[in-house]
Amino acid sequence: MPGPIRRRAEQARWHTASQVLAWLRENPGGTRAALARDLQLASGLATELTGRLRALSLLAETPAPPQGRGRPTTILGPHPQGPVVLAVDVRMADWRYAVAGLDGRPYDVTGARHATRDPAAVLGCVRRALEAARARYGDRLRAVAVAVAGTIHDGRLAQSATLGWRDVDLTVLTAGTTLPLLPGNDAILAGVAEARTGAAVGAGAALHLMVEVGIGGAFTVYGRPATGAHGAAGEYGHQPYGDRALLCPCGARGCWDLDVDGRALARHLGEPAPSDPRGYARQVLDRGDPAARRALETVAAALGAGIGALVNVHDPDTVTLGGLAAPLRAAAPGTFARAYDQGLMAFHRGQPPPVVDAAHGDDGALRGAAIVALDHVTSEAALAQWSARSGGRGARGSGAVVDA
């Protein structure tokens, strides 16, 4: 076979393999028959393809739990010796990491609270965890994705009002290794997780909003986030929906951030600004006194009105709420609903996008980081590299896979 034709055949083969592994992440525990149906593969072709991926230590097939009479079947899953990724979530008070196989399910979740918020110290702790993962998994570890509350650009954390960091080089985490580093904003990654495997599955356009310290989010189209020219899209908390007299740590005035989190609750309660706005908001949500209820009503109204404005901007099919956004709405649902409705253009009011709680809860950013890392690991180029590492087993065969 001439060189150019062979290269095109290999590219097509890895393209099909990439599709199969993407299907696995969206359908963990699925069967080969379901794979063939969803990807419109002939039964024999699906059998041949999954066999090759087993030979490459990418897929495993295990017996499905018995379900009465009928022919026994198997379910598809990640191979026990297959590639894994490391997902990291750096938050205001702590950091966590998890390992994920090709089905995207995080395991070995662990982490620690920050002893200090000094970026060198925090990233040093994460780097040691990464080294431990490399020692355990060897060259099965193929990528590292990091979620951080802040603006990411070109491998650097440009600004994080939450952490108080500016211009921090994140590439120190994988310096001296061959591991790709994939940093991203935590709210954007949580939005990816909701669109791909959470409450917004099936929505062509989805808006995700997450309240922690301030509010961030993502607008995704078919599971892919709009990140902007510099990766800074989704900074919804810095829209001027708030009090213009208030100066935000980001440097702008009137940021929505200051109206929807623990700092807003403290202000409405006449209490000092909390050092931990997230923890403070949790405490207020647990209170039942009239003052706390009034403060929560005010914050729920600000949250609903701002979401209405963003629906006018993005026209999503669905809105998902993560972090503290869901409990803040639940604390004053009527107030939130009225503010949301009043913030919508008349065009949207007849059939407004549903606003639903996120499915992944506090794990959204971690799951999103794993998804982004696995997207990289299962790209055509990365699969070809994995095949070379495995000696090319299962990579050659008839051209049937090429035409799939």
pLDDT per position as a tens digit, 299-342: 999 999 999 999 999 999 999 999 999 999 999 999 999 999 99
Alpha carbon separation from 33 to 47, 50, 70, 75, 79 (Å, rounded):
9, 11, 15, 9, 19
Helices marked H in 184-286: 186-197, 257-260, 262-269, 277-286
**In what helix (H) or strand (E) does residue 277 lie, and over which residues does it extend?**
helix 277-286
Distance CA 185, CA 218 (A): 9
Q: How far apart are the first and last CA of the chain?
A: 19
pLDDT for res 275: 87
pLDDT for res 394: 46
Q: Note the CATH architecture for domain 201-358.
A: 2-Layer Sandwich (3.30)
Distance CA 397, CA 404 (A): 14
Give the CATH number of domain 84-189+365-378.
3.30.420.40
Residue written as tokens 């990724």? 85
CA dihedral 38, 41, 47, 48 (to 10 degrees): -140
Distance CA 342, CA 39 (A): 43
Helices marked H in 27-139: 32-39, 43-55, 119-137
Output the six-digit token pair for 163: 């952490």
Say how many C-beta atoms besides its own lie within 10 A of residue 364's C-beta. Answer: 28
- pLDDT tens-place string over residues 150-196: 888 888 888 887 788 888 999 999 999 999 999 999 999 999 999 99
**In what helix (H) or strand (E) does residue 248 lie, and over which residues does it extend?**
none
Cα angle 14, 200, 348 (rounded to 5 degrees) comes to: 130
All residue ranges of the chain with pLDDT < 70 are 1-12, 66-72, 390-404
Residues in the chain: 404
3-state DSSP call for residue 160? strand
pLDDT for res 404: 32
pLDDT for res 229: 77
111 contacts: CB under 8 Å, gap ≥ 6:
89, 94, 95, 96, 97
DSSP for 319-381 reads EEEEETHHHHHHHSHHHHHHHHHHHS-HHHHTSPPPEEE-SSGGGHHHHHHHHHHHHHHTSHH
Residues of the chain with CATH 3.30.420.40: 84-189+365-378, 201-358
In terms of Cβ atoms closer than 10 Å to its own Cβ (0-12, 13-18, 19+), residue 101 is: buried
Output the six-digit token pair for 107: 């395991």
Strand order in the sheet with 205-212: 224-225, 214-221, 205-212, 318-323, 355-357
pTM of the model: 0.87
pLDDT for res 80: 93
Q: What are the beta bridge partners of residue 31?
A: 75
Distance CA 170, CA 145 (A): 11
Output the six-digit token pair for 295: 């403060």
Output the six-digit token pair for 8: 């095109």
pLDDT for res 403: 33
CA dihedral 134, 139, 141, 146 (to 10 degrees): 70
Say how many C-beta atoms besides its own lie within 10 A of residue 232's C-beta. Answer: 17
pLDDT for res 401: 34
Phi/psi at 249 (5° precision): -60, -20
Burial pattern 105-141, b for ≥16 Cβ within 10 A else e, equals bbeeeebeebeeeebeebbebbeebbeebbeebeebb
139 contacts: CB under 8 Å, gap ≥ 6:
389
pLDDT for res 195: 95
As a whole number of angstroms, the longest Cα–Cα distance in the chain is 79
At the top level of CATH, which class does the domain 3-79+382-403 belong to? Answer: mainly alpha
**Contact status, residue 191 vs residue 206, Cβ threshold 8 Å:** yes
Residues of the chain with CATH 1.10.10.10: 3-79+382-403
119 contacts: CB under 8 Å, gap ≥ 6:
157, 163, 165, 168
Distance CA 266, CA 276 (A): 11
Distance CA 335, CA 307 (A): 13
